[in-house]
Amino acid sequence: MNDGQTGFGRRAVDLSRRLMSFGRRRVVAFGELWRHSLQFRVTVSTLALSSAVVFVLGMVLQNQITERLLDTKKRAAIAQTRAVVSTAEGELGGVDTDPDALQQRLTAALKKITSSSTAATQDPGISAAGAFEPVLASGNSERATGDSIAAGPYESVPLRLRKFVESGQLTWQIHTVADPANGNGRTTYLIVGAPVMNTVSQIQLYLLFPLNSEQNTVTTVQNTLLVGGLVLLLLLAGITNLVTRQVVRPVRSAATAAERFAGGDLDERLVVLGEDDLARLAVSYNEMAASIQRQIRQLEEFGQLQRRFTSDVSHELRTPLTTVRMAADVLHASREQFPAGLSRSTELLVDELDRFEALLGDLLEISRLDAGVEELAAELVDLRTIARRAIEQVRVIAGNVGSDIELQVPDSEVNAEVDARRLERVLRNLLANAVDHSEGKPVRVRVAGNDSAVAVTVRDYGVGLRPGEADLVFNRFWRADPSRNRRTGGTGLGLAISHEDTRLHGGMLEAWGEPDRGACFRLTLPRVQGEPIGESPLALPPEDPMVIDAEPDDPRRIEQGPAAGGEAEAGDRARDEQRHEEVR
């Protein structure tokens, strides 16, 4: 028995959970449809407001009809009661006070009233009252019903009505009583009571008018109003849906056209039908789209001209630059024979030529990236090796400014499908930028990975970035402080090229910085090309400080540049345990 009850309880709980889950899904679906469909929202709102109006109107009509029916019934019943009172007074004149004789006289008068009611209802003013049940009673209401002298269903007359009639008033009341003839049902009566005068005993007359026909009429009216209201609501919903559809359909067409236009289909236009407001909207949209298309094409042509100009100038400058380079190299090789001032000028000439060549290379790279002709040669590579090579390439620059480069890598390989050449250039640019702004403080590099992405952060503790500058650092030729003297001689295009290389990989290159607290650049790439990145393995803003002096098996350990880079290129894993060598 207990097992059966437990099983039934579990089934009930499971059923209730399913019902709740189904209800929640329906509510969520309704909310989504409500938010995304103007047509559905207008239709439901109109239907709700119409339902309220129809309900109020139906209640008012029902109350008015019911009051009119009862008022008509009441006037006819009072008129008929007065007529019956006259008949009863004629039958009960000089009645004896003896109970038995009084009972006989009341019974005879009741029969006379019942038999004469058919002839009395020929009067049009009285016939509206319909059939009735007469009651004649003698005595007062303080006496028990069983002890009263009465003819007819005196027990159906409410006590309150009796008291009013015994005080000599003609009054009425609607009262519901049990009806044995109707099984267990109940019958509602309009009961009119009046005193019978010209008699020795105090006699009251009550006429019980059943309200069955009026109730049937009210029920018919209610059903008619209900069916009519439902039909009206359905018609309103259909009309509202049709009208709203006529308005929403052009709006949806405009939204679809705008989406296609934004997706690159610049020839997308709306169909203009008629001369109404929606037609004017379509005309305005088409004019706007044509204007934007013209401007976009002008910008594209201008951009193509600019890229072509940059590329052509860069190529054309290579020939005279080569000639100047050859002459500068000859002068630089013989600088020891020159006076001190001329020798220094020769060195400066060579340095600026180096920077000029780098600038031309960056301009050519930018022009190729802008033209979209660059392709990604992705292969599975360990990012730790690329980071070491990049550190090795900037160690001379770091040594010139007195900055150490510290590398933190995990024990396991951090493999990803990347273009090694481009990724190495990105890291080299980030490191050079960090060294340039480090103010002689350490530059720290972290490499990490998770199931979906790999990341590298380059952190310096120099001048940092002011609020809002983190979004500007990847702009071409942008500098945080134009008045600062560059120590590395950068071209101003390194971070912009790095950003484009990252975009080709499908990754993200982000910056963070605070004044006098340094800056941090985070490069996040997918492990597999074309797959989503998800969450980056490294936090931004960075988690400081890093652990420099750690045990060899500590995953937070940091290795430093020159030794790490050389060991990686040599491929000698036996020397990976050597850490903490400075990049000078």
**Which segment of 27-36, 452-461, 552-561 scores lowest on mean pLDDT?**
552-561
The CATH number of residue 369's host domain is: 1.10.287
Contacts of 329 (CB under 8 A, 6+ apart): 350
Nearest-angstrom CA–CA distance, 41 and 151? 66
Among 213, 247, 281, which residue terminates a domain? Answer: 247
Residues 381, 303, single domain; the answer is no
Nearest-angstrom CA–CA distance, 230 and 224? 10
Mean pLDDT of all residues in 424-429 = 87
Judge whether 493 and 362 are in contact, CB under 8 Å.
yes
How many other C-beta atoms lie within 10 A of the C-beta of residue 249? 12
Asked if pLDDT for residue 52 goes beyond 60, the answer is yes
Asked if pLDDT for residue 488 goes beyond 60, the answer is no
The CATH number of residue 493's host domain is: 3.30.565.10
Confidence of residue 302 (pLDDT cuts 50, 70, 90): confident
**Which segment of 124-138, 274-288, 291-305 scores lowest on mean pLDDT?**
124-138
Please write the tens of the pLDDT for every residue from 228-241. 888 988 888 888 88
Mean pLDDT of all residues in 72-79 = 88
pLDDT reported for residue 20? 85
Q: Which residues of 205-220 are buried (b: 16+ CB within 10 A; e: fewer)?
A: bbbbbbbeebeeebee
Structure-token pair, residue 260: 């296609």
Comparing CA positions, the residue from 260, 152, 256, 252 lying closest to residue 207 is 152
The CATH number of residue 126's host domain is: 3.30.450.20
pLDDT reported for residue 456? 92
Nearest-angstrom CA–CA distance, 307 and 245? 49
Residues 197, 345, single domain; the answer is no
Comparing CA positions, the residue from 575, 558, 566, 538 lying closest to residue 407 is 558
Confidence of residue 445 (pLDDT cuts 50, 70, 90): very high
Asked if pLDDT for residue 567 goes beyond 50, the answer is no
Domain that holds residue 355: 269-374
In a domain, 89, yes or no: yes
Residues 284, 179, single domain; the answer is no
Residues 370, 422, single domain; the answer is no
Asked if pLDDT for residue 213 goes beyond 70, the answer is yes
Residues 113, 229, single domain; the answer is yes
Mean pLDDT of all residues in 366-391 = 78
pLDDT reported for residue 555? 43
Which pairs with CB-CB distance under 8 Å and at least 24 residues apart come from 307-315?
307/367, 307/370, 307/371, 310/363, 310/366, 310/367, 311/363, 311/364, 311/367, 311/368, 311/371, 313/363, 314/360, 314/363, 314/364, 314/367, 315/364
Q: Which residue has the tokens 């933190």?
A: 408
Nearest-angstrom CA–CA distance, 54 and 186? 31
Bridge partner residues of 172 (DSSP): 192
Residues 344, 432, single domain; the answer is no
How many other C-beta atoms lie within 10 A of the C-beta of residue 283? 13
Bridge partner residues of 519 (DSSP): 460, 513
Strands, E assignment, 410-507: 415-418, 443-449, 453-460
Residues 309, 186, single domain; the answer is no
User: Which has the higher per-residue pLDDT, 290 or 99?
Assistant: 290
Q: What angle do CA 190, 85, 210 make, to 5 degrees?
A: 20
Mean confidence (pLDDT) of the chain: 77
Among 500, 526, 552, which residue terminates a domain? Answer: 526
Number of separate domains in the chain: 3
Among 333, 351, 374, which residue terminates a domain? Answer: 374
pLDDT reported for residue 556? 40
Return the H-helix or E-strand segment holding 435.
helix 420-436
Structure-token pair, residue 319: 């020939």
State CA 172 to chain mean position distance.
62
**Which segment of 32-46, 339-353, 462-476, 534-548 scores lowest on mean pLDDT?**
534-548
Mean pLDDT of all residues in 54-73 = 89
Contacts of 552 (CB under 8 A, 6+ apart): 577, 579
User: Which has the higher per-residue pLDDT, 154 or 565?
Assistant: 154
User: Which has the higher per-residue pLDDT, 6 or 300?
Assistant: 300
pTM: 0.45
**Which segment of 149-158, 294-303, 514-523 scores lowest on mean pLDDT?**
294-303
Percent of the chain with pLDDT over 70: 76
**Which segment of 69-78, 174-183, 334-343, 548-557 scores lowest on mean pLDDT?**
548-557
User: Which has the higher per-residue pLDDT, 76 or 334?
Assistant: 76
Highest average pLDDT, of 108-112, 301-305, 427-431, 480-484, comes from 427-431
User: Which has the higher per-residue pLDDT, 94 or 256?
Assistant: 256
178 phi, psi to nearest 5 deg:
-70, 140
Judge whether 244 and 43 are in contact, CB under 8 Å.
yes
Residues 297, 438, single domain; the answer is no
pLDDT reported for residue 446? 92
User: Which has the higher per-residue pLDDT, 95 or 321?
Assistant: 321
Q: 301 vs 312, 313, 571, CA distance in Å?
A: 16, 18, 49
How many other C-beta atoms lie within 10 A of the C-beta of residue 377? 10
**Which segment of 37-41, 92-96, 402-406, 458-462 scores lowest on mean pLDDT?**
92-96
Mean pLDDT of all residues in 410-435 = 88
pLDDT reported for residue 310? 65
Mean pLDDT of all residues in 529-553 = 69
Residues 90, 164, single domain; the answer is yes
pLDDT reported for residue 145? 46
In a domain, 561, yes or no: no
In a domain, 540, yes or no: no
Residues 350, 472, single domain; the answer is no
Q: 250 vs 45, 255, 262, 288, 321, CA distance in Å?
A: 21, 9, 18, 17, 61
Please write the tens of the pLDDT for every residue from 246-278. 777 877 888 888 888 888 788 888 888 777 777
In a domain, 218, yes or no: yes
Strands, E assignment, 76-165: 133-138, 149-151
User: Which has the higher per-residue pLDDT, 148 or 537?
Assistant: 537
pLDDT reported for residue 106? 79
pLDDT reported for residue 346? 81
Asked if pLDDT for residue 244 goes beyond 70, the answer is yes
Residues 359, 431, single domain; the answer is no
- What is the strand order of the sheet 558-560 is part of? 508-514, 518-526, 453-460, 443-449, 405-408, 558-560
In a domain, 566, yes or no: no
- Reading phi first (left if > 0) and then psi (alpha if -120 to 50, else beta), residue 367 is in alpha
Return the H-helix or E-strand segment holding 423.
helix 420-436
Q: 423 vs 261, 409, 428, 524, CA distance in Å?
A: 35, 17, 8, 11
Nearest-angstrom CA–CA distance, 410 and 455? 12
**Which segment of 73-87, 135-149, 336-350 scores lowest on mean pLDDT?**
135-149
User: Which has the higher per-residue pLDDT, 438 or 4?
Assistant: 438
Nearest-angstrom CA–CA distance, 478 and 489? 14
Residues 383, 444, single domain; the answer is yes
Comparing CA positions, the residue from 198, 245, 243, 251 lying closest to residue 89 is 198
pLDDT reported for residue 200? 60
HSE toward the beta carbon, residue 305, CA cutoff 13 A = 6
Asked if pLDDT for residue 218 goes beyond 50, the answer is yes
pLDDT reported for residue 128? 57
Which pairs with CB-CB distance under 8 Å and at least 24 residues apart come from 78-82?
78/170, 78/172, 78/192, 79/125, 79/126, 79/129, 80/120, 80/121, 80/126, 80/129, 80/132, 80/207, 81/170, 81/192, 81/193, 81/194, 81/205, 81/207, 82/170, 82/194
Confidence of residue 2 (pLDDT cuts 50, 70, 90): low
pLDDT reported for residue 458? 92
Judge whether 546 and 464 are in contact, CB under 8 Å.
no
Instruction: Kindly give the residue spans of alpha helices, DSSP state H, lying in 173-276.
Output: 212-262
In a domain, 223, yes or no: yes
In a domain, 68, yes or no: yes
Nearest-angstrom CA–CA distance, 394 and 404? 11
User: Which has the higher per-residue pLDDT, 56 or 267?
Assistant: 56
In a domain, 545, yes or no: no
User: Which has the higher per-residue pLDDT, 28 or 574?
Assistant: 28
pLDDT reported for residue 11? 79
